[in-house]
Amino acid sequence: MSIQLNDYGQYLGVKDQKFVVYHKQKSIKEIPFFKTTQIILGSGNNVSTSALFWASIYGIDVVMASKTGRPLSLMIPLSTDKRVKTRIQQYEAYKNSKGSIIAEAILKARINSQIILLEKYGLPTQKLIKNLNKVETNNRPIDEIRTRLLVLEGNCSKHFFKQYFLLFPKCLKPKKREKYKAQSPLNNLLNLGYEILKGEVYKAILNAHLDPYLGYLHSMQFSKPSLVCDIQEIFRTVIEDFLVMYHQNIEPESFEPKGNRIFLKPEPKLELILEINRLFKKRIPYLRRNYSKKATIRTIIREKTIKLAQFIKRNGSNYELIVLSEIL
Q: What is the pLDDT of residue 206?
A: 85
Give the torsion through C-alpha atoms of 72, 1, 289, 92, to 10 deg. Answer: 10
Q: Is 70 a domain residue? A: no
Residue 267, pLDDT score: 85
Are 57 and 95 found together in one domain? no
235 and 109 inside one domain: yes
What pLDDT shows up at residue 90?
A: 92
Same domain, 59 and 98: no
* Residue 71 counted as domain residue: no
Question: Does residue 273 share a domain with residue 140?
Answer: yes
Q: Give me the pLDDT at residue 317, please.
A: 60
Within a domain: residue 318?
no
56 & 97 share domain: no
Same domain, 97 and 239: yes
Domain range spanning residue 28?
A: 2-65
- For residue 203, the number of C-alpha atoms closer than 13 Å in the C-beta half-sphere is 27
Please provide the size of the chain in residues. Answer: 328
Query: pLDDT digit string (tens) for 310-328?
Result: 999 886 666 666 545 455 5
Question: Is position 76 within any domain?
Answer: no
Position 174 in a domain: yes
**Alpha-carbon distance 216 to 255, whole Å?**
37
Give me the residues of the chain with pLDDT under 50, please: 323, 325
Task: Count up the domains in the chain and report the number.
Answer: 2
CATH of the domain at 118: 1.20.120.920
- Here the CATH number for the domain that contains residue 29 is 3.100.10.20
Residues 14 and 162 in one domain: no
